[in-house]
Chains A and B, each alone.
Chain A
Amino acid sequence: MAKVVLQNVTKRFGKVIAVNSMSLQAEDKEFLVLLGPSGCGKTTTLRMIAGLELPDEGNVIIGDNVVNDVPPAARDIAMVFQNYALYPHMTVRDNISFGLKLHHIPAKEVNDRVADVAQMLELQDYLKRVPKELSGGQRQRVALARAIVRKPKVFLMDEPLSNLDAKLRVQTREELIKLHQTLGVTTIYVTHDQVEAMTLGSRVAVMENGFLRQIGKPRQVYDNPTNKFVAGFVGTPSSNFVPVNLVLAPTPALDVEGQRIHLSAGQQQAAKSVSAGSYTWGVRPEDLLVDGQSNMPEVAATFNAKISFVEIMGSETFIHTSLAGATVVMRASSAFEYGRGDTVKLVVNVARTHLFHTDSGEAVF
């Protein structure tokens, strides 16, 4: 068991900076998820921890040792690849035991450990098959078994669920959570799927363009994004962004097309530390309500809005409308009764909204 630390790690591919001076710490036994859109550097980060890429600057530390120059095999890690990377010419048993044999573990112990893992992942009946005779989900479990059987200090997982169908993905996600609870091994998990990130991670690290944007518990990342990118990337449908003006006198408030919006006490306090001017207002779809359909929030702002489009999802309904010239999406219950072209009174739960600098995207509150 070990913690994993990255200290100012930078990786360049030619002129492209894939990972930019990134510092991060995964605690012992933690399930840390690296989340971000494709090309944000999350897989490169994982590969540097694995030793498959060497950092150009900075240190990778596993346990108490700097492992920059340590080859992958000596790092005591196991990795699960996106397309499983099972050895096609070997049986399931040989695939699982390959690493153990290379580390000269006695045959009896190899057999015992393979049997244990096979039982844990319900692979007993498939040990004599070769990978192409298995379904996607079974291959996935073999890949997991191969990682688990080594009893490594750290598990590294590179989008291991992305090749499974939706139903199997949910099922395997649950299994992963259970496995992590049973084994208690530090796990670093890469995904672009924010649902996976939120459900699996003890903490989530959100990356963009090689930078670490925010790291925190899933709830924290969702409720208190530190910048506009995180607010927009985490959550479905994504957060709405509305251009606003911040006025500071007499008390800090927002000005949306001439309409003054009062802020909560905490928000006012935070707004005092910045100058007045144009900012971007972040409003989650669930913080937009229709007047009269639910309780009024404590700090509320009301607008008239015309519905341009209604998306019926079954369990809920997404309503597309506009606010201060920006298209916004609102989450409503499945019983939502208005249709396209109707005008409704839109209520914003102001206390839960966020304000971002328009240029840097940093959060004011």
Chain B
Amino acid sequence: MRRNDTIRRPLEARKASPLLVSLSAVILGIVAGCFFILCIGKNPFIGFERILFGALSNVRRIGNTLGMSTQLILIGLSVAFAFKTGLFNIGASGQMLVGGLSGSILAFYLPMDMPRVIYLPIIIVASMAAGALWGFISGLLKAKFNVHEVVSTIMLNWIAYWITYDFIPRFIIDPTISVKSKPIEAVHTLRAAWLTDLTQFSTMNYGFFLAILMCVIVAFILNKTTLGFNLKAVGSNRFCAEYAGIKVNRSIIISMAIAGALAGLGGLTYFCGYSNIMEMGKMPNEGYDGIAVALLGNCSPIGIFFSAIFFGILKMGRGSLAATGIPTEIADTIIATIIYFTATNVILASFWTGIFRKSFHKKEEQAAAAMARNGDGRDISELDRKELNSLAREGKRLGRGKEEV
């Protein structure tokens, strides 16, 4: 028998992985969606077929789905980043608005013949700075005055909403339609001619690559830097972190500012890439969808990337539902149900762990039966996983044979 240097722990039943928990939440959400569609007397399968058709049936639609996913990735990263520090950023909508607003105003006033190499970094930095300011305010309020970040970010959402309401007519109004901003010229958005050609005039833009870059950067900050370690320490136990000498208040402020910056960038990709206008009196829904993206992705950058694509499919595909008579809000209903079930992830995880434990015990019994027949004197805890599996298979055959006899 192989012995390791360290003391070998006896085999244990598998634990439910975050991926499994997320997938169960997705399935439960889709089941709830089916239930709602059935309630209004429509066929759920046709509904989901239409959603997939609308999101993925040709290059242009795939491009649009990726274009929608872009801001979902960024907002998801924003929510997840704050979440790692134990903060719940539901103010991504407001941070998006201020980010998009500063980007749009710059796009309007910067000269058209400016080289894009200079122009793009300027609007990217500006939108991130505006978002960071918005996050910074709620971080500061939390750290210094103990104001709950959920309430303060919601208030800041509405403040951003009214600022946008005031700034659009002041700076960037389209005189012909007096409730919208003037459309930004394509060269001043994040769109690229080659991407637009490649995807047959979809909304896909440079933002998608920015979002992937941000996934990498966030993963790097969280896993490889002292800052990331400090932030995560504050998130897992605030008092322990304080005792270890980490400046908790500073971490909270930094975390909210970075989360705000990510959401601000999301706003830029939304208002100056995915679309090219801003409307008065409209709160972007994507800020709330980002919560779903982050939770479903288990707050890890890779998970967020894939869950954002999933939600992008739901959000873009629902446009094709009109012909079936199913209201397009079914997509939002599914998203909300998924969040509800990810909130209850403890119960989902313990459900799966329970199932794993049961099957493991069964395996142990079968293996024990096989060992008894073979005259193997070892204790069951000395086996490794491969041996256990093969013995269990043998024991299973044994059991079946007995029944047949």
A binds B: no
Chain B interfacial positions (CB closer than 8 Å to A): none
